[in-house]
Structure 1
Amino acid sequence: MIANLPALQIVIALACAPLCFILRVRGLPWLIAFVASLGTLAVSTLLFVQTSNGAVVSYGMGGWEPPYGIEFRVDRLNSLILLLVSSMAAITLVFARASVAREIRAAGQPIFFAAFLLCLAGLLGMAITGDAFNLFVFLEISSLSTYLLISYGNDRRALSASFQYLVLGTIGATMLLIGIGFLYMMTGTLNMADLAARLPAVMDTNTVRAAFAFIVIGLSIKIALAPLHIWLPGAYGYAPSVISIFLAATATKVALYALIRFVFTIFGVDFAFAEMPLQPILVTLASLAVIGGSILAITQRSIKHLLAYSSVAQIGYMVLGIAMVSAAGVAAGVLHMVNHAIIKACLFMAVGCVFYRKGSVSLDAFRGLGKTMPWTMGAFVIGGLSLIGVPLTAGFVSKWYLILAALDRGMIGIFIVAVILIGSLLSIAYVWRVVEAAYFTEPEIAGRNEAPMALLVPTWALALATIWFGLQTSFTVNAAAGAAQAVMGGG
């Protein structure tokens, strides 16, 4: 069983997905999905422990040794991503029992939870596979299920948001596939490790340069890197609360992992950042994302859309870390990836609690909630402070490491520090809008109307996690440093 852990990481969710659809007894689809998420969490934890000392786990599907067969390959980078995705899935499904029962009719819940597990399997597959084409396949599995999940939103605009994401997601996936096809044409292999070994012989060709461009642009759409982010606000804003939580915590992070894997592991630093002008492009677009996303967040009346544009800005911080082209920068970007997943899941859960009671996520619905829903708003404030980067929170830790990494990069580093500080100041403005409405206006109806414990427990678990990882930084910082070392070596 231990030897088959990489396969089990995917098989558990894939096998349980049809069971959710077939076994339509009330409450059973949720239970199956939750147990499956716990199974994937257990497997990812074991894989993380196995690779924590720098070891690499290689698993050949069907007994075919790589590079001839499909390889699942786990190192310190993707073991951290697997742990992040599976843990976010588990805690999201704790929240889902009450939230889904409120937002989605009973007849649609079996399909909903089946699609959720397919999305989970696709994201885990993207992270664990060592085969470039297999990554595209898992990307499509997660994307197709996500389109369906977004369409379950109560607002009629959820359908148009789902369709917009389908169109842009298809464009991104097609560009990724074209790039992978070019690589296969030039090297005759799809195995990532084998690609990295064979590419140097054909690197000085226009075909490889075109492949690089297609892959970077395709994955940038999936990451929602500005200005390719236009699918994200609608997807987060109109999806059911559970899907907003899960997508904000995982989807863009896994796509960013894929970009890191292609750029650093397959193409290599010399090609991507010396021969190709990737660094100035990433720094420019990431800076646009940080500042532009924050400004757009300030203008929103829907708190879901506010948090969605905030995610566009936070993705910019992660990309800035990668664009520094240093082990410290990549580690800081990965660290912010992990911390932001926890922070944003906490915030979207708090918003889900408000929707459960108020049926709305507009700024007006938050009037006076500091008095009527104090526990919900307490969790939101903690998440908001962490998003800003206030000391003693997880958000401060990752921004601090981003600044430290930038200070070693000369003039471009000074520019990056300025962008981080401006983005943090702008985040105060949009978080304050919610705080002002909740604590400095009177509620429409007096008296407590708090969310049920089934929603508050996972919300506060994440709120406390943002404080814990702001105080006890050794686990996340060491894990991110190990992940950076896996792709950057000692450089």
Structure 2
Amino acid sequence: MIGSDIPALIPATYIFFAILIPVVAFWNRKVVRHLSLLGSGIATFFSAWGFMNIIQTGETIRYAFGGWAPPIGIEFVYDGLAAFIVLVINTVAFLVLIHSKLISDREFPGKKMAFYAISMLLMLGFNGMVLTGDLFNLYVFLEISSLSSYALIGIGSKRAPFSAFRYLIIGTVGGSLYLLGVGFLYTVTGTLNIIDMHAMLPQVIGHSSVVAALILMLVGVGVKAALFPLHGWLPDSYTFASSTSSALIAPIGTKVAAYILLRIVLFLFGVELIDHQLPITTIIGIFAGIGILYGSVMAIAQSELKKMLAYSSVSQIGYIIMGISLANPFGFIGAVLHVLNHALMKALLFLVSGSLRLKEGHSLITKFNNSYRKKYPWTMAAFTTAAISMVGLPPLAGFFSKWYLALGTIENSNWILLAVILISSLLNAVYFFRILEKVYLNDPEAETSDETDVAERNEVSASMMFPMAVMAIGLLLVGIFNAYIVNVIFTMFPAGF
């Protein structure tokens, strides 16, 4: 039955097209983008099919590779949370690749085959990290996604290779720390299967190797998630990569890493076991709060849109980590909902940035003016939708994830983190509304010959506008139907919640 094979079909699709693209490129390089769209489209279809099946039946699918049952064999676990995350990341990737045609012609014309093939490997790694039920297998997929990320970031401006190399150094350290932690856990428990290890940990939680493993794994994955202060690789990587690379990696990469943190803290160890040894949830909550404010302040200081969005990502990932640290149902809902919301918001914002770079040759905020509202009315409408959602104004999606996070802080009587949410929303308004002011309001100090009067509509093509429109409408629909989505998230709670 195909439904039971969904956990294997999704990554297998990406493997197939990662191999097919360079083979076909020997005969016809013009079709490589179409093949990547076909591959990501099929994976998105399987993701949607599997998610609907999970919603209707509530049954978790466990797929054992080679017929070897765990803990001896490796299995993929396709539960409600994994199905949700997989659907989000594959849908976003599909929309980004639709948008990429004209940008690829301009920003990396001689590297299309490599870009689209590596994009398939990137999504293979991300999907494998979400689906695997084996800690070492997770490391394998982590490295696949990391190596792909380094290559995609390197395809960009002149400073992109240096940014990619720095990310490679930092990311390798992070991956090594995670692997050391897995090794420590294996020496104590004798298993790598997450479900088996969860059952064994209560008996060995006080062992020094387990405590060391927990710290190493959290720091290692924290690097990949860009958790403050482990975020140093992120701003330049997102800024100097090609527009499509940034739009592909930024909304997905750190969210998958945050998902792994959620799995480790809430599903593998459990809050009670963790906090019995170390106040881990308090510690990561403190770093998340600092990261939210730091990223927001640094975003205000930027004059380039992509770099502003990069620092904004440091701030936004803090919201997800904050939800994990709250360790209560409201925090869990807020974290998972913000994975969806931020994936849509940040992908849309980077797509707008790429569109403006294509048309204007830059994305410098200092050069934005009120002619943009006439030249790019729909592009700027999409940007405005994402910006208002990022600030957290109803009825758009961003409001509701922040609302549940705020409820989580109130339930824990954590008034400091509640203040962080409120202050950061005001800071978000500062760095987004300054752009909206330039675009939609006339500058009283400008010359009398208003550029808007002579500007002609120069909107992007339909193939670029379509994914931006879908994401903008998606932000509105997620906000309107947030109650239904929250009810679905309720079914994903870890045991003991």
TM-score w.r.t. length of structure 2:
0.95
Q: Which runs of 5+ in 2 are unaligned?
A: 444-449
> In 1, distance between residues paired with 2:455 and 2:46?
47
Q: Does 1:101 align with 2:101?
A: no
Q: Does 1:31 align with 2:34?
A: yes
Q: CA deviation at 1:120?
A: 0.4
Task: Provide Cα deviations, 1:314-338, integer angstroms capped at 9, x if missing partner.
Answer: 1111111111111221111111111
Q: Does 1:453 align with 2:452?
A: no
2:7·2:63 contact (CA, 8 Å) conserved in 1? yes
Structure-2 change in CA distance of 1:102 and 1:208 (3 Å): same
> In 2, distance between residues paired with 1:210 and 1:83?
34
Task: Provide Cα deviations, 1:419-441, integer angstroms capped at 9, x if missing partner.
Answer: 10000000000002211232335
Aligned to 1:5: 6
What SS is found at the alignment partner of 1:23? helix
What SS is found at the alignment partner of 1:66? coil
Aligned to 2:400: 397
Q: Does 1:470 align with 2:479?
A: yes
> In 2, distance between residues paired with 1:456 and 1:475?
28
Residue type at the aligned position of 2:480? L
Task: Provide Cα deviations, 1:160-190, integer angstroms capped at 9, x if missing partner.
Answer: 1111111111111000000001011111111
Comparing 15-24 with 126-135, greater Cα deviation is found at: 15-24
Aligned to 1:132: 135
> In 2, distance between residues paired with 1:311 and 1:475?
27
Aligned to 1:407: 410
Aligned to 1:85: 89
**Aligned-residue CA RMSD in angstroms?**
1.4
Aligned to 1:420: 421
Comparing 49-58 with 214-223, greater Cα deviation is found at: 49-58
* Counterpart pick for 1:311 among 310, 313, 330: 313
Residue type at the aligned position of 1:63? G
> In 1, distance between residues paired with 2:263 and 2:469?
33
Q: CA deviation at 1:490?
A: 5.0
> In 1, distance between residues paired with 2:81 and 2:212?
27
Q: Does 1:171 align with 2:180?
A: no
Task: Provide Cα deviations, 1:79-120, integer angstroms capped at 9, x if missing partner.
Answer: 111111111111111111222122211x31111100000000
1:76·1:482 contact (CA, 8 Å) conserved in 2? yes
Q: CA deviation at 1:474?
A: 3.3
Q: CA deviation at 1:22?
A: 1.7
Q: CA deviation at 1:46?
A: 2.4
How many residues are paired up? 484
What SS is found at the alignment partner of 2:252? helix
Task: Provide Cα deviations, 1:390-427, integer angstroms capped at 9, x if missing partner.
Answer: 111000111111112221112x2x22211100000000
What SS is found at the alignment partner of 1:407? helix
What SS is found at the alignment partner of 1:230? coil
* Counterpart pick for 2:60 among 47, 56, 60: 56
> In 2, distance between residues paired with 1:443 and 1:378?
19
> In 2, distance between residues paired with 1:357 and 1:130?
45
Residue type at the aligned position of 2:58? G
Task: Provide Cα deviations, 1:107-160, integer angstroms capped at 9, x if missing partner.
Answer: 31111100000000000000000000000000100110110011111x211111
> In 1, distance between residues paired with 2:355 and 2:417?
36
Aligned to 1:241: 243
What SS is found at the alignment partner of 2:77? strand
TM-score w.r.t. length of structure 1:
0.96
Structure-2 change in CA distance of 1:209 and 1:384 (3 Å): same
1:371·1:443 contact (CA, 8 Å) conserved in 2? no
Comparing 218-227 with 429-438, greater Cα deviation is found at: 429-438
2:160·2:237 contact (CA, 8 Å) conserved in 1? yes
Q: Does 1:149 align with 2:158?
A: no
What SS is found at the alignment partner of 2:251? helix
> In 1, distance between residues paired with 2:167 and 2:489?
30
Comparing 246-255 with 435-444, greater Cα deviation is found at: 435-444
Residue type at the aligned position of 2:76? F
Aligned to 2:273: 271
Q: CA deviation at 1:480?
A: 2.7
Aligned to 1:438: 439
> In 1, distance between residues paired with 2:107 and 2:65?
40
* Counterpart pick for 1:282 among 270, 281, 284: 284
Aligned to 2:346: 344
Aligned to 1:18: 19
1:332·1:480 contact (CA, 8 Å) conserved in 2? no
Aligned to 1:379: 382
> In 1, distance between residues paired with 2:225 and 2:65?
28
Aligned to 2:199: 197
Residue type at the aligned position of 1:10? P
> In 2, distance between residues paired with 1:73 and 1:228?
29
Q: CA deviation at 1:443?
A: 4.5
Query: Identity, % of aligned pairs?
Result: 38
* Counterpart pick for 1:353 among 341, 352, 355: 355
Q: CA deviation at 1:467?
A: 1.1
Structure-2 change in CA distance of 1:92 and 1:209 (3 Å): same
Residue type at the aligned position of 1:8? L
Q: Which runs of 5+ in 1 are unaligned?
A: none
1:19·1:29 contact (CA, 8 Å) conserved in 2? no
Task: Provide Cα deviations, 1:216-237, integer angstroms capped at 9, x if missing partner.
Answer: 0001111101111111111111
Aligned to 2:190: 188
What SS is found at the alignment partner of 1:391? coil
1:358·1:365 contact (CA, 8 Å) conserved in 2? no
> In 2, distance between residues paired with 1:248 and 1:393?
21
Residue type at the aligned position of 2:125? G
Q: CA deviation at 1:482?
A: 2.4
